[in-house]
Amino acid sequence: MSKEHNIPQRVVEKMYSEDFFSQWLGIKVVAIRQGYCLLQLTIVKQMLNGFGIAHGGISYSLADSALAFASNSYGIQSVSIETSISHTAPLTEGDVINAEATEVSRTNKIAIYNVHVTNQLNKTVALFKGTVYITHKEWFQKD
């Protein structure tokens, strides 16, 4: 397989290996390809807030990592401009959540992703939208 074909994997491996916060969250990369990413994490006690449910920052962080991986998967560095999230159902300790980032628009400067966050029963728990700016920097130098 040529190097070109595994750019999404190479980018995410590089990003993830230095992403200490995603590592602390215990994020697993389930799938990655150009413009797409599926991540998973398990809610642990340290992620709960004062209502006894997962802090809003947990599903945001998972979705934001999915946005970063999906939008950088082309091998060009992309940076977040604007993100929004609606938390539609509470999460408790032991829940396993998936965040699936799909590309809904892409020009040469701007791309938009929806990230759908679901629990282990496939119930929607959060809806995230992220807009990124596509820079000119490549992740890997061409040979």
Chain residues binding a second copy by CB under 8 A are 14-22, 24, 45-52, 54-58, 60-61, 64-65, 68, 80-88, 104-105, 107, 109-110, 112, 124, 127, 129, 131, 133
84 membership: H or E segment, kind and range: strand 76-87
Question: What are the C-alpha distances in Å from 53 to residues 22, 83, 99, 126, 143?
Answer: 20, 22, 18, 14, 49
**Cβ 27 to a second copy shortest distance, Å:** 11
Using the minimum distance from each CB to a second copy, give the nearer residue, 2 or 50. Answer: 50
Using the minimum distance from each CB to a second copy, give the nearer residue, 2 or 141. Answer: 141
Whether residue 97 contacts residue 119, with contact meaning beta carbons closer than 8 Å, is answered with yes
**Cβ 33 to a second copy shortest distance, Å:** 18
* 41, two tokens: 């994490």
